[in-house]
Amino acid sequence: MAGSQLVDQLPIGVLALQGDFREHLAVLELLGETAIAVKTPQQLEHIAGLIIPGGESSVIDKLSRLYGLYDPLREAIAGGLPVYGTCAGLIMLADTVLDSIDGQRSFGGLDVVVRRNAFGSQTDSFETDIRVPELGDVPVHAIFIRAPVVESVGAKARAIATLDDGRIVAVEQGNVLGTSFHPEITGDTRFHEYFISRVRASG
């Protein structure tokens, strides 16, 4: 069987240690994808791509180590597994994290510097429309909840969306995609569709 055909049969996983993984699973299923909640290293061997959801990055880090997922997931990302991180997921994919708690680690994969909780506390959450040329002319309605911001982008990554003030809120690098905001709760599925297209192309 050809590699691309095999990839077409594999589900897309959502890291289900903590956070709003159920919402991502629902979007994937709405788009006709087979989706599974990933909680073990063994499940990483049977997925075509992975979404790391919003939540609390320090908790995701601790639980990934507790469940034996940290090293296998880091290696899978380095090996080319397509991954999309939203909010805390973006933090987990950043090579460098500012304002992290003592001992906190990320999986890496994005040549960016990200600052945790850059927009303030839960009460400072906000919504706005942003332009994402890769997704067409219609702006994306973005919801930011205790969101990180990309402070700088290295040579390997590129910014694909910014706020009006220039702050970077979406980046990509090869098979890795990250957003500061939560497209899984807006009803706009274009970011998920964009990620799915990258997953299928990776075959």
The tokens for 53 are 């959801």
What's the confidence (pLDDT) of residue 170?
98
Specify the CATH number for the domain of residue 179: 3.40.50.880
Question: By residue range, what is the domain housing residue 133?
Answer: 3-201
Annotated catalytic residues are 87, 182, 184
SS3 breakdown of the chain: % helix, strand, coil, rounded to 5? 35, 30, 40
Length in residues, the chain = 203
Tens-place pLDDT, residues 129-152 = 999 999 999 999 999 998 999 999
- DSSP assigned state of 121: S
End-to-end CA distance of the chain: 12
Tens-place pLDDT, residues 1-37 = 334 444 457 999 999 999 999 999 999 999 999 999 9
DSSP lists the bridge partners of residue 140 as 130
What's the confidence (pLDDT) of residue 122?
62
Query: What total number of domains does the chain contain?
Result: 1
Predicted confidence (pLDDT) at residue 203 exceeds the cutoff of 90 = no
pTM above 0.85, yes or no: yes
Percent of the chain with pLDDT over 90: 87
Q: How many CB atoms lie within 10 A of CB 109?
A: 28
What's the confidence (pLDDT) of residue 6?
44
Across 133-175, the runs of DSSP E, i.e. the strands, are: 140-144, 149-153, 158-162, 168-173
Mean pLDDT confidence for 45-71: 96
At residue 163 the predicted structure's pLDDT band, cuts being 50, 70 and 90, is: very high
What's the confidence (pLDDT) of residue 192?
98
Predicted confidence (pLDDT) at residue 158 exceeds the cutoff of 80 = yes
- DSSP assigned state of 20: S
